[in-house]
């Protein structure tokens, strides 16, 4: 047992990485989900080698829904005000207490998450979260453009307003978890950086609809990711990391093994976020993933994460056109 623990310590030392000004013992971060909703799960993630944890999101719309649902049951305006304020405060306080307990019981960074859909009105939550001891704050955001008369620039402006409002009230590092549906992702990165964003998570998995053809109802599409979804993330991680902006990247989606994590780090990611595979194989699979990363590093002669981060990104790869290619006639013509 002593020998085994010594080996674990040795390979974990090789996996140290920097993210948001924080030193992580591993590039593997457990992303916001049910797996990060209880102190027991958080401790299990730490015990199995997680570099950090992102707490299950506090939803802006969830809180607003609860306030509306409870207050609508009352016939007395005074009671509505009291109950609304209580539910609002209690929901937030429960989340703040989770942060406090996580910081008290864990040695790895604790990153709360806010899932929002407006650019203002909720930043008070962020201030309270910072005061509760959070190491950083992840903002999970996507404004779905449903107004055909609104330009892309008008839609993008909402992100900038959100950042500006947020940076007025918090001093801890701020990370944006975004989707990939932008006209120019690299332009957005530049604008995020200019407004003081410390990191970007690429990319979010949003709720997507499907249609049940038996009952003609809308239902949710598959929730968990698979390895194949890595393909549309890898390109943009490689291109964004080559922009020489002091903004960290956490790659998300399609991370199902240590080898998947290695690919993202080679493309330039500082960390990777893990979720779906832990639902399928358990939180303890983090240990196996760390071993796979360390084993690959040994085989290639790398002594640290920094030695190979970005080694094949858009700036460092000798054939950068591979990241720009979007048409595949050349490849499909020989595909059988």
Q: What structural domains and CATH numbers belong to the chain?
A: 2-332 (3.20.20.70)
Three-state DSSP state, 44: helix
- Over residues 29-80, the pLDDT tens digits come to 999 999 999 999 999 999 999 999 999 999 886 555 555 665 565 555 665 6
Contacts of 142 (CB under 8 A, 6+ apart): 117, 178, 179, 204, 206
The number of beta carbons lying within 10 Å of the beta carbon of residue 268 is 24
**From start to end of the chain, where are the E strands?**
17-19, 22-24, 28-30, 52-54, 58-59, 110-111, 113-116, 137-141, 174-178, 199-202, 209-212, 217-220, 248-252, 271-274
Q: How far apart are CA 308 and CA 314, in angstroms?
A: 14
Three-state DSSP state, 333: coil
Going 24 to 27 to 28 to 30, the CA torsion angle's sign is: positive
Cα 64 to chain centroid distance, Å, stands at 23
At residue 141, the pLDDT reads 87
Q: Mean pLDDT across the stretch 181-208?
A: 91
User: Given pLDDT bands bounded at 50, 70 and 90, which one contains residue 119?
Assistant: confident
Say if CB 142 and CB 206 are below 8 A apart. Answer: yes
Q: How far apart are CA 174 and CA 268, in angstroms?
A: 19
Three-state DSSP state, 53: strand
Q: How far apart are CA 193 and CA 244, in angstroms?
A: 11
Residue with tokens 């199995």: 48
How far from 36 is each of 70, 268, 298, CA to CA, in Å? 27, 26, 31
Q: Mean pLDDT across the stretch 187-199?
A: 96
The answer on pLDDT for 94 being more than 50 is yes
User: Given pLDDT bands bounded at 50, 70 and 90, which one contains residue 4?
Assistant: very low
Say if CB 209 and CB 220 are below 8 A apart. Answer: yes
Residue with tokens 């924080």: 22
H or E element, residue 300: helix 285-300
115-118, Cβ contacts within 8 angstroms, sequence gap of 24 or more: 115/57, 115/58, 115/59, 115/60, 115/61, 115/62, 115/140, 115/141, 116/60, 116/140, 116/141, 116/162, 117/60, 117/61, 117/141, 117/142, 117/143, 118/60, 118/162
- Over residues 217-271, the pLDDT tens digits come to 988 777 666 676 777 899 999 999 999 899 999 999 999 999 999 999 999 999 9
Mean pLDDT, all residues of the chain: 86
- Over residues 273-316, the pLDDT tens digits come to 999 999 999 999 999 999 999 999 999 999 999 999 999 999 99
Q: In the structure encoding, which two tokens stand for residue 13, read together?
A: 């030392």
Q: How far apart are CA 209 and CA 255, in angstroms?
A: 23
The number of beta carbons lying within 10 Å of the beta carbon of residue 167 is 15
Predicted model pTM: 0.88
Contacts of 3 (CB under 8 A, 6+ apart): none
Q: What percent of the chain has pLDDT above 70?
A: 82
User: Given pLDDT bands bounded at 50, 70 and 90, which one contains residue 173?
Assistant: very high
User: Given pLDDT bands bounded at 50, 70 and 90, which one contains residue 117?
Assistant: confident
Q: How far apart are CA 306 and CA 309, in angstroms?
A: 5
301: left (phi over 0), alpha (psi -120 to 50) or beta: left
Position with higher pLDDT, 117 vs 8: 117
Q: What is the dihedral of CA 257, 35, 141, 194, to 10 degrees?
A: -60
The answer on pLDDT for 179 being more than 80 is yes
């Amino acid at each position: 047992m002593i020998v085994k623990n010594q080996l674990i310590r040795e390979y974990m030392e090789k996996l140290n990485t920097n993210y948001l000004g924080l030193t992580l013992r591993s590039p593997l971060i457990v992303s916001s989900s049910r797996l990060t909703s209880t102190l027991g799960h958080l401790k299990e993630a730490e015990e199995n080698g997680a570099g950090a944890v992102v707490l299950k999101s506090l939803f802006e719309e969830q809180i607003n829904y609860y306030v509306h649902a409870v207050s609508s049951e009352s016939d007395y305006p005074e009671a509505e005000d009291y109950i609304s304020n209580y539910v609002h405060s209690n929901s937030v306080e429960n989340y703040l207490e989770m942060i406090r307990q996580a910081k008290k019981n864990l040695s790895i960074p604790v990153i709360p998450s806010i899932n929002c859909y407006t650019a203002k009105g909720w930043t008070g939550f962020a201030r309270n979260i910072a005061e509760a001891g959070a190491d950083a704050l992840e903002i999970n955001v996507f404004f779905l453009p449903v107004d055909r008369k609104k330009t892309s620039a008008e839609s993008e402006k909402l992100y900038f307003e959100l950042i500006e409002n947020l940076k007025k009230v918090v001093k801890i590092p701020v990370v944006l978890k975004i989707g990939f549906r932008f006209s120019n992702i690299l332009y957005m990165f530049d604008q995020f950086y200019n407004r003081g964003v410390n990191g970007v998570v690429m990319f979010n998995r949003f709720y997507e609809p499907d249609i049940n053809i038996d009952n003609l109802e809308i239902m949710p599409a598959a929730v968990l990711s698979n390895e194949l979804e890595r393909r549309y993330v890898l390109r943009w991680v490689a291109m964004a990391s080559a922009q020489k902006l002091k903004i960290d990247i956490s790659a998300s989606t399609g991370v199902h093994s240590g080898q998947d994590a290695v690919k993202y780090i080679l493309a330039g990611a500082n960390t990777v976020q893990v979720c779906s595979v832990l639902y399928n194989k358990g939180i303890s699979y983090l240990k196996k993933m760390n071993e796979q990363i360390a084993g690959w590093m040994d085989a290639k002669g790398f002594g640290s994460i920094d030695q190979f981060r970005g080694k094949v990104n858009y700036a460092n790869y000798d054939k950068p056109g591979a990241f720009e290619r979007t048409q595949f006639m050349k490849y499909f013509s020989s595909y059988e």
